[in-house]
Amino acid sequence: MSKQTLSFQAEVAQLLHLVTHSLYSNPDIFLRELVSNASDACDKLRFEGLNNAALFEDAPNLDVRVGFDTEARTITITDNGIGMSAQEAIDHLGTIAKSGTKDFMSHLSGDQKQDAQLIGQFGVGFYSGFIVADKITVESRRAGLPAVEGVRWVSGGTGDFEVETIERAARGTSVTLHLREDAGDYLDRWKLKSIIGKYSDHISLP
């Protein structure tokens, strides 16, 4: 697949506007949500791997990694879980609003604390990355697919996103947040560690 530019579905575009403008009261939740998504992807692989051990390829140990690059001003959350095919990336990250998006919109109260809690509940946590990032790059390959069937998804969180096929040796997903000017304080090991400790301690993966 060569590079395609696709539009977000209307509800997703609305949701993105909302996330970037009204959930600033607790921007830390972006990390909770992305680590939680990474953990879910590992659980899915564990589950699918019960019937098909080949999906583990040559990496049976599942983990989630959080890294940052001060020069590039990026934070990357990587898992070696189930991963996504190109079509799944399109479906899950923008064009086909999961039923959750609509439900989420209808439950919003305008009370930021409450709304921030809803984010994970309705499966729209990925978009919380745009609270701190003005661009998100996702690279993924679904377990079991060949390396040449990786996918790269890129969006600035406004009206559209780009998706293209890439070669990716590792299965699983990397989500790279290109931080906004005012979010530079997240490029700090201790800050990231303390947020993960606060929100993601219950996750059983290393």
% pLDDT > 90, the chain: 62
At residue 195, the pLDDT reads 95
At residue 27, the pLDDT reads 86
**Domains located in the chain, CATH noted:** 4-199 (3.30.565.10)
Spatial distance between the Cα atoms of 48 and 198, rounded to a whole number of angstroms: 30
Per-chain mean pLDDT for the chain: 88
Best CA proximity match to 59, nearest among 46, 44, 73, 76: 46
Query: Which pTM was predicted?
Result: 0.91
DSSP 143-170: TTS-GGGEEEEEE-SSSEEEEEEE--SS
At residue 31, the pLDDT reads 94
User: Tens digits of per-residue pLDDT, 20-50?
Assistant: 776 666 889 899 999 999 999 999 999 999 9
User: Tens digits of per-residue pLDDT, 48-72?
Assistant: 999 999 999 999 999 999 999 999 9
